[in-house]
Amino acid sequence: MRRRLLAVLAASVPLAAVVYLPTASAETKDASAATPFTCMAPSVKAPAGTRVESVTAIGQEGGTIAGTGALGGSVSGVPAYCEVTVTLTHPGGNDHAKVRTWLPVSGWNGRFQGLGGAAYLAGDNNVGLGTAVKNGYAAVSTDAGVGDALDTSWALNGEGQVNTALLKNFASRSQHEAAVVGKEVVDALYGERPAYSYFIGCSTGGRQGYMEAQRHPGDYDGILADAPAVNWDEFEVATLWPQVVMNNEKTYPSQCEFAAFTKAAVKACDPLDGVRDGLVNDASRCDYDPRRLVGTKVVCDGRELTVTAADAAVVRKIWDGPRTATGKKLWYGVPVGADIWSLAAHTDPDADGNVVGTPFPVPAAWVKLWVAKAPSLDLSKITYSRFTQLFKQSQAEYDKVIGTDDPDLSAFRESGGKLLTWHGEADQFIPAQGTVQYRQKVERELGGTKKVDDFYRLFLAPGTNHCGLNGLDGSADGLAALTAWVEHGKAPRTLPATLVNAQGQSVSRDLCRYPQVSRYKGHGDPAAASSFTCVSPRRH
């Protein structure tokens, strides 16, 4: 089980910003040329509401930096840097949050970069910090006083109650404090403040970026927040829905059968953009009915299986998403084209035909610990009505704490900040429609598409899984686009990307800014971005 979970984390990098490898560094400004650089522990003023417990500084040689924890990874060619660690505590909270700032000894480009986290990891695991330093940035990350990506030992205190201090750290305040401390360290060691400050994160890191824009609009000039885990209190419970469906319907399609449904849907909806190119360019328009596959034979591990009506019913409910017993929609389902097995994994039948679901650990922990506050809760026994109760309880208790869906970005807009997001339309963990919904709320709040586009742009990536444009399911240099926008006023009309289609082939695409979608021009190589144009979506 543990091996499968780590394999999933390593293969698809769910909820990860730690392997985010932006390349934009622009021109270099060598601060050390003006002021001799000394790696030392500076005097740090505690951010409001905190106390500084300790400050240390260690000179590091660089080289190859290994990523810690479950996410691992590495980055090579990192130059010498100074690592300053500031440990903060919130009086009465009994917490100890480490804020680490890495500063290149030479070649600093005058910019500052904040890094987001992954799953329950609040910050970076060294790969992002090393990459930032390699590209000339001074960079900061915080552990918020919590643990690794799948470590939830901090959730409840000795009395079985939610550790509110650590949850508040993880949800919001630690990222802001890291920005304050990191800039102070930069100023102390380089003798000047950064010219520009950027935040980078995907998933949990993406949510943290949105939180910064909503609550601390002056922290960063530019925020690159991808596949953002906004609406945490809702989608985190919703990602248990596939398990709830299978357990209640007592039907467990195999991984191979789930893949057959996904393949059939992609094949059916692929031509909607005007050409068969192995990509569904507007997943929201794909209305493939899984019942069309009933009676079809699929070969799974050498065995021929026949797709049943019960299999199709399960897939239909998973795609549709969670609903109440009366049919009211609660949240979005697994997107058509995404890997269903990531959330619907289970054991093979034993000798008696029994199957045990193996839910993804992030939502499993959220529901058990923070919502039910019952570590021994048997998730396989959750009925549809109990699921609705848990969903609504999560909303009621945690929307204001970690929902991160406040649409009022007026202060961020007025500060001159820019927010750029891409989200994969085949995201198996965080449905892109949740991000679309948030963007629509911002438009209603702040005067429509055009006004919001002035400071916040969203790009949807066809056929792309969770955080997949971080080099695992394609690539896009969002930081380069954001830098051009912030520093030169060049707002991105499209976001150039490399995508991977259903046949496993790399194709180039210019991602369209929401609400536009990509459409084939009618001629040209379907693997080339130049053969497509961005158009307004057709009505359903």
Structure-block tokens of residue 298:
């699929």
Parallel, antiparallel, or unpaired for β 303-306 and 297-300? antiparallel
What is residue 310's DSSP assignment?
H
Contact present, 314 and 253 (Cβ < 8 Å): yes
Q: Which residues pair with 73 in a beta bridge?
A: none
448: which residues sit within 8 A by CB, 6+ positions away? none
CA torsion angle for 15, 21, 26, 27 (degrees, to 10)? 120
The amino acid at residue 327 is: G
Contact present, 390 and 271 (Cβ < 8 Å): no
Structure-block tokens of residue 111:
């910019």
Calculate ∠ Cα 151-156-162, nearest 5°: 120
Whole-angstrom distance, CA of residue 294 vs CA of residue 308: 5
Catalytic residue among 466, 473, 475, 518: 466
Q: How many CB atoms lie within 10 A of CB 194?
A: 21
Classified as helix, coil or strand, 421 is: strand
Structure-block tokens of residue 198:
């950027």
**536: annotated active-site residue:** no
Q: How many CB atoms lie within 10 A of CB 209?
A: 31
Catalytic residue among 12, 141, 203, 394: 203
Contact present, 335 and 321 (Cβ < 8 Å): no
Where helices occur in 419-495 by DSSP H, the ranges are 432-446, 449-453, 478-488
253: which residues sit within 8 A by CB, 6+ positions away? 246, 261, 311, 314, 315, 344
Catalytic residue among 219, 270, 339, 427: 427
Query: Half-sphere exposure (CA, 13 Å, Cβ side) for 391?
Result: 26
Contact present, 335 and 426 (Cβ < 8 Å): yes
**427: annotated active-site residue:** yes
Whole-angstrom distance, CA of residue 370 vs CA of residue 388: 16
For the chain, the C-alpha Rg in angstroms (whole number) is 23
Active site residues: 203, 427, 466
